[in-house]
Chain A
């Protein structure tokens, strides 16, 4: 089945928010913009508006205009909607201005002067804060978590070898090509006026909750509609709540529709990024490289507010020990507050950071013991019946050793290895090498997350005998609509054209949870199947569900008998049997299931310039059943290339906690000329509790490339790089002269 929106996107017909004509609800629309903090921490002494402008012509919103609490509703409500007299990061929103003329608005916003009485900011998360830098509790720690299995200390005491390492990863900007875009207007409703927000987002219900909280309204007076979304990657998980509130506040004050479209430089400077990390490994091994004990310390830079850091940390530490079996594990994690832009969700959600450290460390263990990195993985890869660091027994039927072998074959590992050695012996300044990583990714929300989410899906049956899927999951390029159509059509025995995907609109769709965590096809897809079962049972004789043309006929007959009435099937999440997690002690089934992957990178390093070029890349994964081969492959290739950028070139440079290189000229993502074709191989072990037998695919591809690339660089040049991005400037001093 081909991507549903494919041709309209290819031909430029798809209408993103900023493409909409200013008609209907957007008639008379104002442009909105944000006045931002020029400093990273301090008291706002004054906000002054240049008298050269006639401010009566502008709509200005300040914190006093917020009807409810000045808080962005999320895990903790510590992030203000507009800085309430105090700023905690550079570019923090201070005030909002709207005007019909965008060019004039830009000048007006640029003329507003925000004066800050500075307090000492925390700009390095690796350094313990001084007393005058404390801004949370008595240590600036946002969240602390621990995983404990066995007795690492006893194991260290009797180990053959102990190998230590310290690994760092940088932040990463999402660079969705459609910048943040949001609109808001006021409509009449049965209980009074309704604030409607429509925009580019991943999680309409996050936005809804934020609006309800800060605008002091119930859900009958706030409505959130998703517009076609030009990429998210996690970047449109939490921040759209802030922009939606900004838009809504301006619209409420102006009593006119308002549109906020970020410029690229504003989007890059002001919105959340991937958490920078520091991970320390101390590992006990025997002489064959068998892991006897893993002590892992994980520190994340949380940025200025809590946002999603506790959950990112949680996923990070659960993945920190890698896809291996080890009897003694101690993982200690913390996320700390700093005065840089808040860090938030980004594809992989903490796992790429800790997996990077784990997989680089595995190679360094091999190096220290004089073993082949491949063998060190073979000996440790988890087998069915063994347990993870949270003592979750793995028993999914995936043969991870076979997965590794298949990846080696697909990548022509042995040939590349041989040819690289010959090449290196003869070339004056180019060096080739090969490296690998073996990874896992928990699909769906962590621990009891899915139970707390309690996701719901409805399927409507229309008078013309079609099925409409009503879910809050959003299409942002990953293919939700196409995958849902296929899952629903297969479940109902319909042709895909008899399935309609309803636009995520909080007035029409139930809360199916956020579109994150590789959960959409697996978790929500399964709910679609169950909602169709429910619909079919409602129409079935004696509870015998119907399928195919019989179901279609039953739907049209029902509507003929019940004109004007609604027919819906419903489903609510229920965890798979025997999945239990103790989220106090981090013991048990951290995820209902894991997806598994192997990455193999073949690189060429230029000793003159210390630049690294990918010659070949293979990504092999078991993601359960593949729903749509083209879409799944595209997810993997895109994830790999995003990870290549993170590994080699995407380097956020900060000045006083603000992003200095907030342009696409200076923040370097790969072009088509920077990457080779990405070989993708799927291994399908169907997962019974996932939609269509699928596990998640969105995030796994991001986890493995960075360490595989650095392992390949080490293989090519002996340079043992420990941090990413491995820019040429950082690699140069590590290379042989």
Chain B
């Protein structure tokens, strides 16, 4: 399949690309600008602003989403690449399940939090990865400037039904 864009000028816009994908269990059909990042599509077009922009360079993880079962930084994903893929965002995780994270102080300012929860929830659903990766290594793609990480790590431990950390 070929997608040819129109002429680009300083004020020009490329022709859009029609795509279909599964988002939080729903079918989505939209036409996206080829320059659109998944992060922008979610926030500004699909009205799912839970996914945050922290850095725009794949460093902070605030924009973490799950694509085909794996965590990804949505600021580094051109939206056209998620055609026919399955995308899950923070909006797919029910608040009622998050009590353990609340109790340990996993959130303070909340700007990194949705990304943290997306990754933590992925670890929880794929806890086998903890056999080969430490929790702190798996969470290292989610920068937090408030908590010092203990509240997050303890919250995940609690969420997994383990004893909280030492701190």
Contacts and interface: CB of A to CB of B under 8 A. Distances in A.
A729 interface: no
Interface string B36-63: 0000000100010111111111011010
Contacts of A52: 10
B115 to A, nearest CB: 9
Interface in B63-107: 89-91, 93-95, 98-99, 101-107
Contact of A10 (B49, B102, B146, B167): B102
B127 interface: no
Contact of B139 (A16, A229, A672): A672
Chain A interface main SS type: loop
The listed residue with most B CB atoms (<10 A of its CB), out of A176, A265, A642, is A176
A103 B40 CA distance: 12
B6 to A, nearest CB: 15
A261 B27 CA distance: 31
Given A11-B94, A633-B105, A680-B167, A664 B60 contact: yes
The listed residue with most A CB atoms (<10 A of its CB), out of B104, B108, B110, B153, is B110
A673 B137 contact: yes
Contacts of B149: 637, 641, 671-672, 675
Contacts of A673: 134, 136-137, 139-140
Nearest to A642: B145
A630 B98 contact: no
Interface string B117-157: 10000000000000000111101111111111111110000
The listed residue with most A CB atoms (<10 A of its CB), out of B51, B95, B104, B150, is B150
The listed residue with most B CB atoms (<10 A of its CB), out of A179, A665, A677, is A677
Contacts of B108: 3, 231, 477-479, 634, 638
Nearest to B155: A10
B165 interface: yes
Task: Bin chain A's interface residue count.
Answer: 35 or more
A107 interface: yes
Contact of A640 (B89, B101, B137, B148): B148
Contacts of B153: 672, 677
B11 interface: yes
A261 to B, nearest CB: 8
Contacts of B89: 12
A633 B166 CA distance: 13
Given A8-B95, A11-B95, A679-B166, A3 B145 contact: no
Contacts of B99: 7
A631 B101 contact: no
A478 B105 CA distance: 11
Contacts of A8: 95, 110
Contacts of A671: 139-141, 143, 149
B98 A665 contact: no
Nearest to A2: B102
A264 B110 contact: no
A672 B140 contact: yes
Interface residues of B, number: 62
B166 A177 contact: no
Contacts of B111: 16, 176-178, 230-231, 477
B147 A637 contact: yes
B56 A477 contact: no
Contacts of B1: none
B143 to A, nearest CB: 6
Nearest to A174: B145
Contact of B107 (A3, A50, A633): A3
Contacts of B145: 174-177, 231, 233, 638, 642, 669
B102 A176 contact: no
B112 interface: yes
Interface in A498-523: none
Contacts, number: 207
B166 A677 contact: yes
A177 B53 CA distance: 8
A416 to B, nearest CB: 15
B106 to A, nearest CB: 7
Contacts of A263: 56
B21 to A, nearest CB: 19
A14 interface: yes
The listed residue with most B CB atoms (<10 A of its CB), out of A15, A111, A638, A665, is A638
Contacts of A229: 109
A18 B59 contact: no
Nearest to A268: B55
The listed residue with most B CB atoms (<10 A of its CB), out of A3, A231, A663, A671, is A671
Given A8-B95, A52-B10, A19 B49 contact: yes
A352 interface: no
B117 A10 contact: yes
Interface in A1-35: 2-3, 5-16, 18-21
A678 interface: yes
A429 interface: no
A2 B102 CA distance: 7
B128 to A, nearest CB: 20
A341 interface: no
A15 B49 contact: yes
Given A231-B109, A677-B166, A679-B167, A7 B54 contact: no
Interface in A135-154: none
B109 A663 contact: no
A664 B59 contact: yes
Contacts of B151: 630, 633-634, 637
A188 interface: no
B82 to A, nearest CB: 19
A429 B43 CA distance: 49
The listed residue with most A CB atoms (<10 A of its CB), out of B94, B109, B147, B152, is B109
B148 A638 contact: yes
A3 B43 CA distance: 26
A638 B146 contact: yes
Contacts of B98: 7, 10-11
A271 to B, nearest CB: 14
A345 to B, nearest CB: 15
B110 A14 contact: yes
Contacts of A264: 54-57
B167 A9 contact: no
B107 A9 contact: yes
A12 B50 CA distance: 4
B142 A11 contact: no
B167 A678 contact: yes
A677 B150 contact: yes
A74 to B, nearest CB: 24
Given A16-B52, A176-B145, A178-B111, 17 more contacts: A7-B98, A9-B109, A10-B101, A11-B90, A12-B113, A111-B10, A176-B111, A177-B54, A177-B109, A264-B54, A477-B146, A637-B148, A638-B146, A671-B140, A672-B139, A672-B140, A680-B167
7 contacts: A7-B99, A12-B51, A20-B49, A103-B35, A477-B146, A630-B104, A672-B137
Interface of B: 10-11, 35, 43, 47, 49-57, 59-60, 62, 89-91, 93-95, 98-99, 101-114, 117, 134-137, 139-153, 165-167
10 closest Cβ pairs, A-B complex = A12-B50, A477-B109, A230-B111, A9-B110, A637-B148, A19-B49, A641-B148, A12-B90, A177-B111, A11-B95
